[in-house]
Amino acid sequence: MNLPHLKTCTGAGCLCHRILVHEAGHAVMAMVLNCPLRWATVVPDEDATGQVSLKPPTSTINVMVTLAGAAAELIGCGPLDGAEQDDMDSIAVLLDKPALEQMFQIVTALLGAHWTAVLALAEVLAERGTMSKSDISKAVGRHLHPMPHGEKWAKARVAL
């Protein structure tokens, strides 16, 4: 799939770049936490400008993967612009504000440690539009350091 509008817009202030980084953030966090990932896309449909399909094994990992899109935007694009609010609203029922802020800091730190993987995936997503789990693994594998006990690590810091 050729998506030239995504390849020509790479600056941090560009909406296309923000979408690419956002979806790559979700996918990379899923891989870091060993969360079953199916695919990622930046091909818009009637509901979203991009999506990552996964099956989080627990609520903690679900929250971390959900927050990863906004965390990636913050790292790669600067202040959040409000477009990530759908993700935040979907988990606001699970955490109070202090716990949400703490979990967001944890996720931001984890993504920062895997930032080269986020950028590598965003670049390939710009070219392909949609990628399977195996394609994502190939694109980012050498940049990742999965956490075999990501769930225990997260629960030790934030109780859901």
Q: Which pLDDT score, from 0 to 100, does residue 20 have?
A: 92
Q: Which pLDDT score, from 0 to 100, does residue 7 have?
A: 44
Has domain 4-157 been given CATH number 1.20.58.760? yes
Q: Which pLDDT score, from 0 to 100, does residue 152 have?
A: 52
- Domain extents for the chain? 4-157
The two tokens of residue 108 are 């931001």
Q: Which pLDDT score, from 0 to 100, does residue 90 have?
A: 78
What torsion do the CA atoms of 122, 49, 36, 59 make, to the nearest 10 degrees?
A: 120
- What is the mean pLDDT of each successive set of 10 residues along the chain, which is 160 residues long? 45 69 94 88 79 80 91 88 73 84 93 95 92 93 70 48
List % helix, strand, coil for the chain (3-state, nearest 5): 60, 10, 30
